[in-house]
Amino acid sequence: MRSEAELERAITLYSDTVKRLCWIHLKNHADTEDIFQTVFLKYVLHPALFETPEHEKAWIIRVTINACKDLLKSFFRRQTTSLQDISEQVSTTIPEEYSELMEAVLKLPEQYRRVIYLHYYEGYTAPQIGTILHKNVNTVYTMLNRARQMLKQELGGGHSGTAICGSHDTNPG
Amino acid sequence: MERQFVEAMTQIQAEPALKERTRQAVRKQIGLRKCMRPVLAACCLLCLTLYGSWLYFTPTSILSIDINPSIELSINRFDRVIDLKAFNEDGEALLQTLDVLHQSYTSAFETIMDSDMVTTCLSEDQLLSVAVVELDDQQGEVILDYVSECICQHENAYCYGITSDEVAQAHNLGLSYGKYRLYLELQTQNISISLDDVKQMTMKELQQLLNQQENEAPNGSGYQQGYGHQHRYGHHAE
């Protein structure tokens, strides 16, 4: 079992990452709180040592995604998210200037949102994302490309800057 | 747009209150787990103790020794004597002189065979009957082999194996398994004898009664020939 100091360090270091992952998966604040407790309790109880800080962060991301998936899979959570829900979620947490883009991101299928976040925000490459999500690298490339196309379609190409909709990390194969 | 996405995501941060609630919740969970640990350990220990006790104190074979003292030794799966019962006064007197509880059945049987009371009975040409009642697994066969080897030097001794089903009523009638087996033989030969008489009589007297009846019968075969053979497994010292 990890010490109190290690828990404190993990909360300081990874709270924002966990919160962002919750944001792209969930829309309920109470659920976010549940995920926080699950992730950090698992961290404290996790017996193995992490080889590097990157390894530790990847573990936190993986555990958070799994916890979100488990929550969404549960019987009582099986409900579709309406466009109004998305707008509310964005308007309450994100400044207005980013709302169009973030609503478009939230409208993406769950697995596409995940790879977009990991690639564009956390800066992971497709092979790294494949390792974290236990997916084939080509599958990750495909998901990234489809997510970009969907975003392009949703934003109508009128958005300033096209990096996220472009293909600067396309499948080398 | 990538820059905008990064800027937008950066706006999402965990509030200090959320962090604090997480800290408290995790500490509480850890505290509960720490409290539960000794409780769980105690439960595991209790379960192990109960299971171990059940394993140790469940008899798997019974050694019924009848000569004139009638006694029974309950033996567990670890070949230890876990209970001793006397079925007549001589048996009680014999048990008073023995200290064989929790010893191996081999050691206990040797002690019994070397006891003054049993050696006296054997020197007086009394009949020694040893019944091995198998309650569980194959232990009975091994015990019977051992007993057979031990008593082979005595001419007036015999042993045999029986299942608990064959002698299920013995203790209800206040008889040892060995004596009950002989009581059933007497009944089969239509010999009228009361339970009290059976309890009081020695094995030799009962056997003589049975032999007498069998010799009188047209096809009487005598006990030496017929006994034990009716059973699942049987050895005769002679």
**What pLDDT, on a 0 to 100 scale, did the predictor assign at position B137?**
66
Q: What is the CA radius of gyration of chain A?
A: 17
* Separation CA A89–CA A94 (nearest Å): 8
**DSSP per residue, A93-157:** HS-GGGHHHHHHHHTS-HHHHHHHIIIIIS---HHHHHHHHT--HHHHHHHHHHHHHHHHHHHTT
Q: Which residues pair with B66 in a beta bridge?
A: B70, B129
Q: Tell me which residue of B158, B227, B235 sits closest to B186, measured CA to CA.
A: B227
pLDDT over 90 (residue B136): no
Q: Tell me which residue of B115, B121, B76, B81 sits closest to B98, measured CA to CA.
A: B115
**What pLDDT, on a 0 to 100 scale, did the predictor assign at position A78?**
55
**Most confident option among B21-30, B134-143, B196-205:** B21-30
B197, amino acid identity? D
pLDDT over 80 (residue B34): yes
Contact at 8 Å (CB) between A72 and A25? yes
pLDDT over 80 (residue B60): yes
Sorting pLDDT into bands at 50, 70 and 90, what band is B230?
very low
For residue A53, count other CB atoms closer than 10 A to its CB: 9
Are the beta carbons of B30 and A44 separated by less than 8 Å?
yes
B5 chain-A contacts, CB cut-off 8 A: 98, 101-102, 105, 116, 120-121, 164
Residue B18: C-alpha distances to residues A43, A45, A46, B41, B107 (Å): 17, 20, 22, 34, 71
Are the beta carbons of A161 and B5 separated by less than 8 Å?
no
B203, amino acid identity? M
**What pLDDT, on a 0 to 100 scale, did the predictor assign at position B194?**
86
- Counting as low any pLDDT under 50, the low residues of chain A are 160-162, 167, 172-173
* Separation CA B46–CA B90 (nearest Å): 40
- Structure-token match 């392009």, residue found: A152
B12 chain-A contacts, CB cut-off 8 A: 16, 19-20, 23, 93-94
**What pLDDT, on a 0 to 100 scale, did the predictor assign at position B74?**
94
- HSE, CB side, 13 Å, CA atoms: give it for residue B183: 24
Q: Does A7 touch chain B (CB under 8 A)?
A: yes
Contact at 8 Å (CB) between A17 and A64? yes
**What pLDDT, on a 0 to 100 scale, did the predictor assign at position A86?**
72
Contact at 8 Å (CB) between B87 and B179? yes
How is residue B103 annotated by DSSP? S
Is residue B133 classed as helix, strand or coil in its secondary structure? Answer: strand
Q: What is the CA radius of gyration of chain B?
A: 32
For residue A32, count other CB atoms closer than 10 A to its CB: 21
The mean predicted confidence, pLDDT, of chain B is: 85
Q: Does A46 touch chain B (CB under 8 A)?
A: no
Domains of chain A with bracketed CATH: 1-79 (1.10.1740), 95-173 (1.10.10.10)
State if pTM tops 0.80. no
Q: What six digits make up the tokens of A87?
A: 């707008």
ipTM of this predicted structure: 0.84
Sorting pLDDT into bands at 50, 70 and 90, what band is B103?
very high
Sheet holding B59-66, edge to edge: B81-86, B70-76, B59-66, B128-134, B157-163, B233-236
**What pLDDT, on a 0 to 100 scale, did the predictor assign at position B223?**
38
* Separation CA A10–CA A31 (nearest Å): 20
**What pLDDT, on a 0 to 100 scale, did the predictor assign at position B94?**
93
pLDDT in tens, B188-216: 888 888 888 888 888 888 888 888 877 77
pLDDT above 70 covers a percentage of chain B that reads: 90
Sorting pLDDT into bands at 50, 70 and 90, what band is B235?
very low
pLDDT over 90 (residue B178): no
pLDDT average, residue stretch B130-141: 84
Q: Which of A12, A41, A46, A150 to mutate to test the interface with B (most CBs of B within 10 A)?
A: A41
Q: Which residues pair with B132 in a beta bridge?
A: B63, B161
